Structure formats: structure tokens, C-alpha cells
Amino acid sequence: MVSIIKQKLVQQMIKDIQHYPIVGLVNFENLPAQQLQVMRAMLREKGVKIYMTRKKLLHLALINSKKQNIEHLAEKIYGLPALIFSDGNPFALYSLIQKNKSEAPAKAGQKSPKDIIVKAGGTSFAPGPIISELAAVGIKTKVDQGKLAIISDVKVAKEGDVISPKLAETLKRLDIKPMEIGLNLVAVWENGTVFSAKQLHVDEVEYADNFTQAARWALNLAMEAGYLTVETTELLLQKAFREAKAVAIEQGILSAETINEILAKTERQALSLKEEANL
């Protein structure tokens, strides 16, 4: 009976792998059961399907789906894996999962999910045994106005490093929470290409800033080239008016737009001449 159930599960996963345009692999290792249930409910609401079962069955389903290069996704199965399916796109899926993570303190034995940097600056610690504790993990300090201050930024762990008990305790005392509670997206398959989680990371603020900067550059270039568009026409007419007016004033050409400036210019020149002649 168990074997038949497993066979049906694998067949269902194969159908979904073949049906969905986006096939993702996640790892829910170190994710508490309560948060896992919350994440599953959230994914269902967003139309994302998830299968949580044994590694062997996941691997079997991926390989037998016969999708192009899907074996490269199967190679990345580790920890407590699950398959997820979406009709969206890899970047949106990554962003959805990342936005539903929360910070957590590091525990001894865990692997660092990223480079852990302790920033320079003041602390709330008074000088004492804490100096040697910080020094033991590579953090140099000095006394500043009766409190310890970290002299410079220091990388206390690289991505993938196993966090030692001493480092975990130090980070806790510094109130640094480098861990993230949530599903970890390992990789995503789309149209024969497997993207790692790192490749899907997009800094949304930087992305928006790049668009804004590109728009400014394009506008400046269009203005310099005199290229007429909906955005530049009014600005170019204003620029042309200012330049034409400046030439008219310089040449003393009287018009309704220049007469006041020309008279003011003439008066300034007359006053200047009067002062030079001591009249």
C-alpha cells in the first residue's frame, strides 16, 4: 500500500513538473513547524504549489519528468527539500519567499547564510572581560567615553562557515541577528535554465534608482541632441526661448520680451561709466 501511494505521488509530481513553467527547489531545514505551516498557507494563497516528501522521491520525479536540463535542479537537493511550482517568474517567486522571512539569532553549529559583518562604532559595554571575548572572535575595541567602541568593520564569518558557540554568544550580546527564518529557495528551473538563489536576488531600491538614473540620462541626451518627444518638447521650447532672448538682449534687439532687460542693462552701463569718469 505504501509503495502504491509513493508511486502515485511521484506520478503527480511528474505531471506538475511538466505542467508548470516554473519549478523551484526549497530547503526548509531549521524552519520551525509553526512558521512552516504559515509559509505553506501563504504560498497556497499566492497560487504556489508545494510538495514536501523524501529526497529520493523528489529526485525521481524531477529526472523522470524529462524536462530539459532538469537534472541540474535535481543535483541541488539537500537538507529538508521540497518542490514548489508557480505560473509566475523566478524573480517574483524569490522575492515572495524572501519577503516572508524574519531575522533570528545565530545558534552554534548553524551555517552562516551570508558574510557576517560587525560594524565599527560604539557599544553599550563597559570595559571588562568583554574585551577579550570580542577579541577572541577577531573584534578589536577601544575605550571611548567610558564605553567600548569597535574600531573597524570586521567580517566574523563567511557565507557557509559553521558558527562556533563563542561567535554565536558574541553575536547575541551585540544583538546581531544574521539568520533568517523562512523557506530557503535553493534554485529555480525555467525554460531549460536553472537559476541559483543568488542569481535571482534583485535589490529593488537599487533597481528603481537605476531606472530613475537611466531616465535622467536619456532626458539629458535628448535635450542636448534637440530630440523632440512628449517629455522634451516643452523643455526644448523653453530652452530655445531663453537662448533667443539672451542673444536679443546681447545684440540690443528691442521687443516686448527684451525691452526691460535692455533698459536695465543700459542703465547699469551708464552708471558704471559715470563712476569711472567720477561724474
Query: For 5-14, how does the pLDDT look when each residue is reduced to its tens digit (9 = 90+)?
Result: 889 999 999 9
Range of the domain at 264: 208-276
Q: Which residues pair with 84 in a beta bridge?
A: 24, 50
DSSP category for residue 198: H
Q: For the chain, how many structural domains are there in total?
A: 3
Question: What is the percent of the chain with per-residue pLDDT over 90, rounded to a whole number?
Answer: 38
Instruction: For residue 180, give the H/E element and its range.
Output: strand 179-181
Residue 82 and residue 192 in one domain: yes
Residue 96 and residue 127 in one domain: no
| pLDDT grade for 167, boundaries at 50, 70 and 90 | very high
Residue 8 and residue 92 in one domain: yes
Give the global pTM.
Answer: 0.60
Q: What average pLDDT score do residues 170-181 get? A: 88
Supply the pLDDT for residue 74: 94
Q: Among 86-90, 179-183, 257-261, which range has the highest average pLDDT?
A: 86-90
Listing DSSP states for 10-75 in one string gives HHHHHHHHHH-SEEEEEE-TT--HHHHHHHHHHHHHTT-EEE---HHHHHHHHHHT--TTTHHHHT
Instruction: For residue 93, give the H/E element and its range.
Output: helix 90-99
The radius of gyration of the chain's CA atoms, rounded to the nearest angstrom, is: 32
For 18-65, how does the pLDDT look when each residue is reduced to its tens digit (9 = 90+)? 999 999 999 988 788 888 888 888 898 889 999 999 999 999 999 999
The Cα 226–Cα 43 span in angstroms is 50
Supply the pLDDT for residue 209: 81
- If one compares 206 and 37, the residue with the highest pLDDT of the two is 37
Question: What average pLDDT does the chain have?
Answer: 88
Supply the pLDDT for residue 279: 65
pLDDT at 253 over 90: no
Residue 129 and residue 191 in one domain: no
AA letter at 229: T
Helix, strand, coil tally for the chain in percent (to 5): 50, 20, 35
Listing DSSP states for 194-218 in one string gives EEEHHHH---HHHHHHHHHHHHHHH
Residue 78 and residue 212 in one domain: no
- If one compares 184 and 276, the residue with the highest pLDDT of the two is 184
- In order of 54, 106, 150, the CA distances from 131 in angstroms are 47, 21, 10
| pLDDT grade for 67, boundaries at 50, 70 and 90 | very high
Residue 108 lies in a domain: no
Nearest one of 249, 111, 237 to 184, comparing CA atoms:
111
- In terms of phi and psi (left: phi > 0; alpha: psi -120 to 50; beta: otherwise), the region of 79 is left
Residue 109 lies in a domain: no
Residue 174 and residue 265 in one domain: no
CATH number at residue 134: 3.90.105.20
Task: Scan for cell 511550482, then name that residue.
Answer: 85
Supply the pLDDT for residue 13: 94
For 100-119, how does the pLDDT look when each residue is reduced to its tens digit (9 = 90+)? 888 888 889 888 888 999 99
Supply the pLDDT for residue 2: 53
The Cα 231–Cα 243 span in angstroms is 20
pLDDT at 277 over 80: no
Supply the pLDDT for residue 11: 94
Residue 171 and residue 159 in one domain: yes
AA letter at 195: F
- In terms of phi and psi (left: phi > 0; alpha: psi -120 to 50; beta: otherwise), the region of 109 is left
The Cα 172–Cα 178 span in angstroms is 10
Nearest one of 49, 45, 44 to 16, comparing CA atoms:
49
Q: What 3-state DSSP class applies to 222?
A: helix
Residue 9 and residue 55 in one domain: yes
Q: Let me know: does 48 contact 100? Beta carbons within 8 Å.
A: no
Q: What 3-state DSSP class applies to 141?
A: strand
